[in-house]
Structure 1
Amino acid sequence: MNYGTIKKNDIANGEGVRVSLFVSGCTHHCRNCFNEEAWDFSYGNPFTPETEEEILDALSPDYINGLTLLGGEPFEPENQRALLPFLKRVRERFPEKDIWCYTGYLMDKELLEESLARCEVTDRMLGMIDVLVDGRFVEGLKDISLPFRGSSNQRIIDVRASLENSGIVMKKLS
């Protein structure tokens, strides 16, 4: 897996101050995507053990609330396979910090059911995530007043509550 950017003090992509990893590779190709260069799976730099350590170090200060995964598309199967072992390390080292993930796939219709996104690690990856912002960016539904999303069709989902209740539960924002 490659990544395009690591932001170590991000306040735009989840609650609080976060470390954000922008992975490379996306097959959605949403019109007027804010990060079109990251559609290419070979864009950016290889995600190495040194990259993982850099992110883990950036997560260590008390003022960092958690990790956010964006893209590109974290739920492309090849990205899921690379991210799952890393997310396990994040959970082990920082159990008190939350993990947000942005995806163009719908949790209930594409990640939990048979789709191009589902693979052998999808359920385990979902189990590591606290908040999922799902749905493709839709230019016609763009709304810059919405917190933590680009268009009104996108949902901010409490993943753990949704999995426990077998239905989508929206995240209550602080």
Structure 2
Amino acid sequence: MNMHQYYPVDIVNGPGTRCTLFVSGCVHECPGCYNKSTWRVNSGMPFTRAMEDQIISDLNDTRVRRQGLSLSGGDPLHPQNVPDILKLVQRVRAECPGKDIWMWTGYKLDELTESQRDVVGLINVLVDGKFVQDLKDPALIWRGSSNQVVHHLR
């Protein structure tokens, strides 16, 4: 898996103070997407074990308390990303008690493959659906267009 950006302290992509990871790879290529540079799976830089360790360390850092981890992109549920995202969310669940996990994807909850469902079964909130330019609404919280749904899973 490749990644584009990691923010160890973020107050924009989910509630509270968070760690946020933007991954590479998106098959949806939504017109009007604000993050087109993340569409290609080979763009950005490799997501390494060292970066995974850094995320875990940051989530457990008591100097700057984080509510949780946000995963966006690109698309964390892109088929090429699923194995690494699954390992990451499993580690967060095991090593970062009390932290929530939010994820944004262009896939709809009812369209997920079994491996994508394995990931989603471990997160707290899924914001699903493609961004639709004609349904864009800046007043929406945590989503860009009104067709997208915020699913509180845990």
Which of the five TM-score ranges fits, normalised by the shorter chain?
Answer: over 0.9
Runs of 4+ in 1 over 2 A off after TM superposition: none
Matching of residue 20 in structure 1 with residue 17 in structure 2: no
Partner of 1:34: 34
Partner of 2:9: 9
Counterpart of 2:70 in 1: which secondary structure?
strand
Partner of 1:157: 151
Partner of 2:83: 81
User: What are structure 2's unaligned runs of at least 5 residues?
Assistant: none
Counterpart of 1:78 in 2: which secondary structure?
coil
Relative contact order (alpha carbons < 8 A, sep ≥ 6): 1 or 2 greater? 2
Q: Percent identity?
A: 45
TM-score, normalising length from structure 1?
A: 0.84
TM-score, normalising length from structure 2?
A: 0.94
Partner of 1:59: 59
Structure 1 residue 95: Cα displacement: 2.3
User: What are structure 1's unaligned runs of at least 5 residues?
Assistant: 112-117, 161-174
- CA distance, structure 2, for counterparts of residue 129 and residue 87 of structure 1: 7
Report the more deviating stretch, 122-131 or 17-26.
122-131
- CA distance, structure 2, for counterparts of residue 61 and residue 143 of structure 1: 35
Structure 1 residue 81: Cα displacement: 1.2
Cα RMSD (Å): 1.1
Partner of 2:105: 103
